[in-house]
Amino acid sequence: MSFEFFPPKDDAGTAQLLTAIEALQPLRPDFVSVTYGATGSSRERTIDATQLIAARTDALTMGHLTCVSQSVNELRGAVDAYAEAGVRHILALRGDPPGGPTAAWERHPDGLDNATELVELVKASGDFCVGVAAFPDAHPEHHDFDLDARILAAKEQAGAEFAITQLFFDADAYFRLVERVRALGCELPIIAGIMPVTNISQIERFASFSGAELPAPVVSRLRAVADDPAAVREVGVEIAVELCDRLLAGGAPGLQFFTQNRSKATAEILRRLREIQPHH
């Protein structure tokens, strides 16, 4: 079980991040991760946030790294910065183009073309444990499930040791993903990525996050209580608990919660999940 945070942009964001870390620390995550911006101050904020989180939690801390808008030398510099910060676990991602997950990919002239190449670079840079992304709803660029499975297998061959999925809401989509990659001989543990819906405005935003629409049954349950913000949040938490229960019962090795630097929904989901007999 793990939590994902993003680097704050200002002092207020740092205070919010620290509040979330302190609230979630008692839940004993196995690791926490920090998302990654491209070059310049965004990258520096990621390294700073990684160091801050590592100092505030006993959990293993993992940094993200993407190919977006960066040369090979810049990527190597980021890997070195993680090593200097004591971070030896990296989530290697191609990353979304500046135009969003459905925009055409443009490789940096002196950069890398995909996450498989990035895995190879990180593994060649030192003793790092490397994770990668997986897509239950298919990567939005090609929407080809079989291609996604082959790419995930290639990432494993390049040295990846685990995967974390993009957010999703259909447990069967996760199980189909696992089945496809296992058929190729890929044995990567695939951690399920979870993000609860806590307000109606998120319904549209999830498509921009993941490139996939929310399933119709999920949208229907949320729209049925759209006029009551508290009820929307309650239904969103219920949906997340049901999803997590099914995933764990079906053999998912773990859950990663995309916290958005907040703690209450994640803590509530885990509390309810742990009240279900198999998950004590």
> pLDDT tens, 67-122?
988 899 999 999 998 998 889 999 999 987 777 666 778 888 999 999 999 999 99
Q: C-alpha distances in angstroms, 97 versus 3, 139, 186?
A: 24, 13, 27
Q: Residues 113-136: pLDDT tens digits?
A: 999 999 999 999 999 999 999 999
pLDDT-derived band at 39 (thresholds 50, 70, 90) equals very low
The one-letter code for the residue type at 68 is V
- pLDDT at position 203, please? 78
Pairing state between β 129-134 and 162-165: parallel
Residue with the larger pLDDT of the pair 265 and 36 = 265
Residue 277 confidence (pLDDT) above 60: yes
Catalytic: which of 4, 120, 156, 268?
A: 4
pLDDT computed for residue 91 by the predictor:
96
pLDDT (0 to 100) of residue 210: 67
The alpha carbon of residue 20 and the mean position of all alpha carbons in its chain are separated, in whole angstroms, by 17
pLDDT for the residue numbered 40: 44
Give the HSE-up count for residue 272: Cα atoms under 13 Å, Cβ half-sphere.
16
Mean pLDDT of the chain: 90
Active-site residue, 204 included: no
pLDDT digits (tens, 9 = 90+) for 147-196: 999 999 999 999 999 999 999 999 999 999 999 999 999 999 999 999 98
pLDDT at 51: 83
The highest-level CATH class for domain 2-279 is alpha beta
pLDDT in tens, 239-267: 999 999 999 999 999 999 999 899 999 99
In the chain, where the domains are located: 2-279
